[in-house]
Structure 1
Amino acid sequence: MGLAKAIKRGASALLIGSMMTGLFTGCSATGENSGGKLVKIAVCVSDQTPAAQALTDVFKPMVEEATDGRYDIQIYNSGVLGSEKVTYDYTKSGIVEMCVVGTTMWSETPKMTIPDFPFLFDSVEHARVCYQGELGEYIAEDLESTQPLKLLSWYPNGARVFTSNKKLESLDDFNGQKLRMPNNPIHVKLAESLGANVVIMDMGEVFTALEQGVADGQDNPLATVKTEGWYEVQDYVYDTNHIIASLELFAGEEFWNSLSEEDQEAFEKASEAASDYAWDLYEEQLSDDKQFMKDNGLIVTELSDEDREAMKEKIQPVYDYLNAQYDWVDDVRKMVDDIKVE
């Protein structure tokens, strides 16, 4: 395992070097430039995720065809151009034209915390309708009024569930468990309110921490548990879907304003089609990911309606914290409650 990880890190370093050379010399990520204006998209997730697949299968060909090849869309997946915060800042400053990131900017744009609100949505389908509709427009308007960016479309970053190598089949089982959480006050307060002990660490440390017992469990989408190999060192899945997180496709303001109205329309249509494609893919993968966990010996427990309501009561301290920070939290929750899935 150690050798494989070392090889992977070495290969990643070489790839980062070649990508960064291409970034600053204008070379293509996948070969010779097609002749159109190079548009670099820095993507924080791997090429196996619905968002990345949608950019490759839908966004790139739609833009290039609609603009008669005036743009050469090159996609740099898996964070090879830098961390989420770095590529977000690159996009704001014009170093790269576009990026796909999560909610890394929440500290400078507080309404970007909304995708991390626990139990905000009834289901993945409900989250999709909200992000692609009124909620997404509400957040985009706030962000675009303060940042040099255009928020083009929303993508699934996964419905978070809890996993553990200790029994985790009910709310009482959280008591005393050591749960790895990201360094985000919402996530930390969520775990603490459930009775767990929080261990904060970066993603790259999680496998070893779970393997060695530094942490008993963690919370992430099932797809992440699968791709990161954590299912090898976990025995239980509590299918809570407590946070249905998002990814966003941004264009830098300088780049966006350089486009003609016709080309802006082409980018917007392609981004909307890619968003639909990604959400469709994600919804199709959910049951497969759950079956994968079962096939690998993990005990998967669904969250009952009764336990869902009990869990929402237990995590009220999260909303007490949010209400103390922001005066718009209850309005957002009401907005989302009023959005119905047709």
Structure 2
Amino acid sequence: MQSKFDLKYIIDMGEWTKLQESLSLVTRMAIIMVDYKGVPVTTHSRCQAFCQTVRSDKEFSPYCQKCDARGGLEAVRLSRPYIYRCHFDILDIAIPIIVDNQYIGALMAGQIRLAEGSNPNLEQIVSRPQQDAMTADRVSKYELLPVMTYEEVVATADMLNHLCNYVVKESILKHELLERNRQYEPLNPQKPKPEVPALPAEPSSASKTPLPAGNAYKTECSNPTLQPAFDYMLSHKEENFSLKSLAHLCHISPSYFSRLFTREMGEHFSLYVARMKIEWAKELLATTDWSVNEISNHLNFCDAGYFIKIFKKHESVTPLFYRTALKDKE
């Protein structure tokens, strides 16, 4: 229930606040996010001086709160952004955040004036007793409110609606995937890595003590989200794999792919790929008569020298010595 309906749990509020500030700057609208109870979960971005003055006035603040509440309820009823006029005839927008037909909060935007000539006949959602509320100070601040055409307001409301709901749905999906991973772990315990026979150390003047071979790479994946990436790597051994392209293949972000991959394999993506390439190189050394250059080119190393360097880092011997040692064993 918490992951489904608590916006503070669903969204990284630190990152969302940065996005909200940028959206407010670009759209020239004041923006704030509230939960399904109407309680703010972010601070107000670009709140206009006029509205700050009115909201801090004990006499008018209750009318502002009524506008927010009524606007949110109307947006929920319509299941789409609701554009309305407040008790000071200022334009506001309530954008419902709905996931699986469940209302979990809203994005409130606005605090703008309509350009002259725009007459969309919008509802004034809350009225108050007629009285002289426009002091000289408020009049000057009212004149500073951003001015937009109705068409611009509608386009901005649609953009904020699509963006906000997309971010929330993606965040929920991320939490669901993480929860599934936690459930899979007890059912898929890590299998012990197969033992690789040690090869004798490459002769040197310093030592002739045998050095252990590197650990084999893990070939099985228990996480279905990552399975498309594993299938692709195993069937395209000759390619250089990009974390970004494999993440796209799994329909998740590169950063999320990297976290899932490290958790699944126990090592970073780049380290795993290097180990995997070396294991394939060992297979080719054992089963073909290809030269070191040919194997290096086939596995898409930048050059043979780099291939030999990486191979020796993992296996403690050069590719040629590895092949010779295998033949001696036979």
Of structures 1 and 2, the one scoring higher in RCO (CA 8 A, sep 6+) is 1
Structure-2-length-normalised TM-score: 0.20
Q: Which has the higher strand share?
A: 1
Structure-1-length-normalised TM-score: 0.19
Larger radius of gyration: 2
